[in-house]
Amino acid sequence: MHEIAPVCPDGDRGDCVKMLDSAASRYLRHEARRRKGLRMRNLEFLWKDATSGGGGCPALYKTEGGYVVQGIKLDDATRAQLRQLADDEDGVFVPANVLDRLREIG
């Protein structure tokens, strides 16, 4: 394994090492999340699409700090239109009535 010798401003190697350690930590956390997915604990079911019938989709769940949306997968052509979609992200379609109800509880 080769050591990377960063170009340090003002010759302060200690700050450069801290900066590289921090960047490496962020990268490793991102890679772990990308491979495994984001684990959410204690999902609270809020509601599903009023017209979905017997299926469970689309639906909305509340979790600590945000929401989880269960929706219909997008085809490749639609996914290609999403902006700055990271490797660990995806888009789903959700009917307006599922998200519009958030205004009632907001």
Q: What is the pLDDT of residues 85-101, one digit of tens each?
A: 888 889 999 888 888 88
Q: Is the peptide bond before 9 cis (omega within 30 degrees of 0)?
A: no
Residues 58 and 95 grouped into a single domain: yes
- Given pLDDT bands bounded at 50, 70 and 90, which one contains residue 28? low
Per the structure block, which two tokens stand in for 81?
Answer: 């239109």
Residues 48 and 86 grouped into a single domain: yes
Number of domains in the chain: 2
Helix (H) or strand (E) holding 67: strand 66-70
Closest by Cα among 49, 73, 44 to 59: 49
Residues 35 and 50 grouped into a single domain: no
- Given pLDDT bands bounded at 50, 70 and 90, which one contains residue 38? confident
Per the structure block, which two tokens stand in for 30?
Answer: 């991102």
Q: What is the pLDDT of residues 74-84, one digit of tens each?
A: 999 999 999 99
Domain residues for the domain of 18 are 1-39
- Measured between its terminal Cα atoms, the distance across the chain in Å is 53
Label residue 98 exposed, middle or buried (CB < 10 Å: 0-12, 13-18, 19+): buried
Residues 79 and 99 grouped into a single domain: yes
Q: What is the pLDDT of residues 65-76, one digit of tens each?
A: 888 999 989 999
pTM: 0.59
In single-letter form, the type of residue at position 78 comes to T
Residues 56 and 28 grouped into a single domain: no
Residues 35 and 49 grouped into a single domain: no
